[in-house]
Amino acid sequence: MLTQFKKYIQQKTRITDEHFDIISRDLVSRKVKKDTILLREGDVCSEVFFVASGLLKAYTIDNLGKEHIIQFGPEDSWVSDRNSFYFSLPAMFYIDAIEDSEIVCIKKEFYEKAEKLIPGFNSFTVMILHNSIRFMQKRISLLLGATAEQRYLDFIELYPNLTLRVPQWMIASYLGIRPESLSRVRKELARKNFKPN
């Protein structure tokens, strides 16, 4: 698990093996089974989860018990409730493993140590934040003003292999549409694009 995390960090920053050993000393790696709940709404989230393998989801549950998926976290993703992690407020999200997963649990101290030791780590985390803000802005814009088909096309660009890994209802939940609407979108795409050979 840490090997994958190290590989990822070394691809993104100029960290030496020695420095990685220092900053990773207190990191906890976990193997979690599918359906393990890693965070509950209302709890304080003290960790960011780096996904070394497997798949996580962050989601809310509304008053009617319906689940709304905020984020999927496949390999090399960072999943957390930032409201809780950074501001120490109660979590807004649940975080679960959708597949058997290997995760690295990262606490605030890791960031503090890494910022001191690794050249470029700060700008790397800023880049990650900008990137996630960029995707969130796009997502808000699509949720407010795009058709279900446009949202689906954006989804498959961002997560090309998730259609093979998660059930339809989860994709529909992420897109903010009903599963039947997702079926209609896929049927319509097939009508437009399927050319039997």
Partner 1 sequence: MKAKTIEKILPPPAPHMVGDGFRVHNFFPSGFNMANNRMSPFFMMDYNSKIDFSPREKPRGVGVHPHRGFETVTIAYQGKIAHYDSTGNSGTISKGDVQWMTAASGILHKEYHEEEFSKSGGPFQMIQLWVNLPAKDKMSKPKYQAIANNELGKYSLDNGGVVEIIAGEFKGVKGRASTFTPIEMYNVRIKKGGELTFNLPENFNSGILVVEGEVNVNGQKAPTDNFILFKNEGETISIKADKDSILFVLSGEPINEPIVAYGPFLMNTHEELQQAMDDFNKGKFGYLED
Q: Which stretch binds partner 1 (CB under 8 A): 50-58, 107-115, 140-148, 157-165?
A: 157-165
How many residues line the site for partner 1 (CB under 8 A)?
21
Q: CB 183 → partner 1: shortest distance, Å?
A: 7
Nearer to partner 1, 11 or 197 (CB): 197
Q: CB 174 → partner 1: shortest distance, Å?
A: 14
Helices of type H across the chain: 2-12, 17-24, 82-87, 108-117, 121-145, 148-158, 168-175, 179-193
Using CB under 8 A as the binding rule, the residues of this chain from 158 to 197 that contact partner 1 are 160-161, 163-165, 168, 183, 186-197
In the block, tokens 């949720």 appear at 143
Specify the long-range contacts of residues 16-19, CB closer than 8 Å, at least 24 apart: 19/117, 19/118
Q: Which tokens is 59 given?
A: 């989601």
Chain residues that interact with partner 1, rule: CB under 8 A: 153, 156, 160-161, 163-165, 168, 183, 186-197
